[in-house]
Every structure is written in C-alpha cells, then in structure tokens.
Structure 1
Amino acid sequence: MMWDAVTEAMGGLYPDERPWHVTYPDEGYRLRAASAYPAAGHWHLVGYGLGERWGFELTLRVARGVEEQPPQWPFVLLDQVAAYVASLDGPVEDGQWINWGAPVTGFPHTDGPDTGLTVLILTEDPQLGGGRFLQLVGVTAAEADGRVEVPEDPLMVTDPARA
C-alpha cells in the first residue's frame, strides 16, 4: 500500500483534523513515518512502511485526554511491532496476538505509564477495514487467554489506565 492511500484513508475519517507526524531514521527502524490523528476521546495512529511489502499498515488507538500532542510511546510501539512483523516467516492476520512480555507503553523506557496491558491483539481496524489496516489492541494477559472478558469498545481503544 502506498503512502497516498494511507493518507487518503485517514483523511476520509478525519477531514478537518491536522495530524501529528513523525519520521524514523533510515537505519535501525522498520517504519518510515507515522501519523496521529486527534479523534473523539483517543488518538488514532497509523504507520507508514509495511504496506509496500506486506500489504497492510498498522494502526493503534490510544486513549486521549485534553492534551494537544500525542504521547510518544505509541510511535515507539508501532515501530517495534513493525520490526517484529518483519522478522516473522509468515504473514500476520486478524486475530493473532503478541505476548509483549512488558507494558505495551514501553514503561519505564518511554514516556508511557506503567500498565498491566502486556499483550497486543491484531485486529482489522473497525473504521478502515478491508484487511489493509491491522489495529493493535493492548489487553492484559488474563484477557488474552480468556480468563477475563475484554471490555466492550467498538473502536478498541488501548487505554493504559484501565489495567
């Protein structure tokens, strides 16, 4: 998927919003860039760089308060997951999960808070769909293995404060 297609898809959801952009250095990073769009109650992030080779881009929705700028930890997480995906022998798909083994926020190595969300579920982005956008959803280990039910949320926003 080309960058223009990603920008067009996100712009269709948020036509009046100005996104925050980051770029990644060429060496040591899998993604080339990422954007965060301010949405109602959350930041909607999308990475640029996997689509041309793997046919999909990663998205992530992170709970938002009144802050004007997105936190930095989701940008770090998107690139780390992109590197993980690139290291696999086979494709990733809707319904797979990754036991991150640590807070998905990168705590204490990033600006992210400590959280019990340590597993990432990959699911089709509920608004972008079409299999071209896989959304990362942070859950607890107990939620991932079915011991505890994941709270109902149609947009599947990752909220570190809930665990």
Structure 2
Amino acid sequence: MRLPWNRHRPATTEPAPPDDLEEHAPGWDAITAAMVGVHGGPERRHVGFPPGVAFGSPLQGASVYDAGDHWHYVTYGLSELFAPAPDAAPDVSGWGLELTMRVVRGADDAPPEWPFGMLAALAAHVRETGWVPEHGSRLDMQSPITGYPWNRASVPTGLTVFAFVVDGPLGRIATPHGSVTFVQAVGVTEQERALMAQSTTDEVLATLPQAAGLPVTDPGRA
C-alpha cells in the first residue's frame, strides 16, 4: 500500500488536550500499565496532540520509554481511552490497536522528535482511510519515514516504507473497553519492501537490525 503524502501534525507537551484532564481514563491506564510492565518505569517523555481526538486530532498523545539500546514509542488514541462510543463493539477498543515504534539510540541522550510526528501521520491515515495495519502489512510513504526535509526535527534517511508487526513483548491486552493490539511500525527501504513481497515481512525483518531479538528502526543505516 502506498501513502502519497507526508503530513506532520505538531506535537507538544503543552497545553494538554482537554480530554487529558478527565480523571477516569481506564483505556489510557491500561496502555501505560503495559508499557511500564515491559520497561519497569515511567515514560521518558510524553507529548500531546491538541486539541485532542474528540476535536479532530489523530491521537491524544504519545509517549517514549527508555529501552536501553533503543527508544520505545507508543500512541494513545486509536483505542478508547476514556469512555467507549455508544455504538462501540464490546470486544474491541476503538480501532483495536495502538501503534509503537522502536528507534535505535544515538549519541544524543534525548529521544528523537520525529517519531512523534510520524506516528500521528500514521494514525491520521488509519482514521481517514479505514485501513488498519496488522502483522505483515506494509505502507509505502514515498518519502523518508523520518519526515525529512519537511519535519525540522527529522534526519535524512533512505528508509521510505513502514513494515508492521505485532510488538512482541506487548502483544494484545484486555482493557475495560475491549482488546488492544500493539502494532509496531518498522522503517525499511523500497528494496526491502520488494523482498518482503517475494517472501514475507517477518523473513526480511529477521535480517535487519535487532534489539533483544526485536526489529528496530535505524534511519542511519540507509
């Protein structure tokens, strides 16, 4: 699948989207509990996407966790965070997923900014087209997956395609609003996408950079 555009919504820590001020957010809490269960501590940084999902933003927010040799990002907002819609399916929360991304750690101790914008762009694509990535899916961004050069916080790269796999340590969780699967976006080249079409996404990802046996995105490798 090809994505013939590359839009980037701003991410910011302030002001918080209005929904973030709600005290009861069981869906949000379930996502955070899953991430803390994997990493053993709080997020390194959280950003919000004003004005919030209820007012048209693709996401409510996104967090990044320190995973040692890489950064682990997760979205909030493709699943039901606060209260399900009246006509919501009881067994699946919202779109049934949240997106993640694992990005190699560079010399800078701060997590890179560009994944926040790209996760928001992917979430917007899900909402606008109804296409839901699943294990083995691929999406051609037709431009660098970092958002370069439009995103000023990005870096140049030859990775132009996202491949998607279930984020192994997180997998699928049960929340008060239904199940949520964590789907990881992994940056690959067009040549690697072609190889995936001839074999499988898993087979090609197994030959690419890994962290603790998990595929990671390394913009500097291409």
Question: What TM-score results when the alignment is normalised by the length of structure 2?
Answer: 0.68
Q: Residue 21 of structure 1: which of 8, 30, 46 is its match?
A: 46
Indicate yes or no: 2:171 matched with 1:129: yes
Q: Partners in 2 of 1:29 and 1:10 — Cα distance?
A: 23
For the pair shown, which has the larger CA radius of gyration, 1 or 2? 2
Higher alpha-carbon deviation: 85-94 or 37-46: 85-94
State whether residues 20 and 69 of structure 1, in contact with CA within 8 Å, keep that contact through their aligned partners in structure 2.
Answer: no
Q: What TM-score, normalized to structure 1? A: 0.91
Q: 1:123 to 1:74 in 2, by over 3 A?
A: same
Map of 1:7-156 to 2, 5 A cutoff? 7-26=32-51, 29-52=57-80, 53-110=94-151, 111-130=153-172, 132-146=181-195, 149-150=204-205, 151-152=207-208, 153=210, 154-156=213-215
Root-mean-square deviation over aligned CA pairs: 2.0
1:102–1:118 CA contact under 8 A, matched in 2: yes
Contact 2:43 2:63 in 1 (8 A): no
Deviations 1:79-130 (A, max 9, x none): 0000001122353321111100000000012221111100001110021112
Match of 2:14 in 1: none
Structure 2: gaps (5+ residues): 1-25, 81-93, 173-179, 199-203
Query: How far apart in 1 are the matches of 2:135 and 2:114?
Result: 23
Query: Following the alignment from structure 1 to structure 2, what is the Cα–Cα distance between the partners of residues 16 and 92?
Result: 28
CA distance in 1, matches of 2:56, 2:109: 29
Q: Which residue does the alignment assign to 2:31?
A: 6
Letter in 2 for 1:60: M
Unaligned runs of 5+ in 1: none
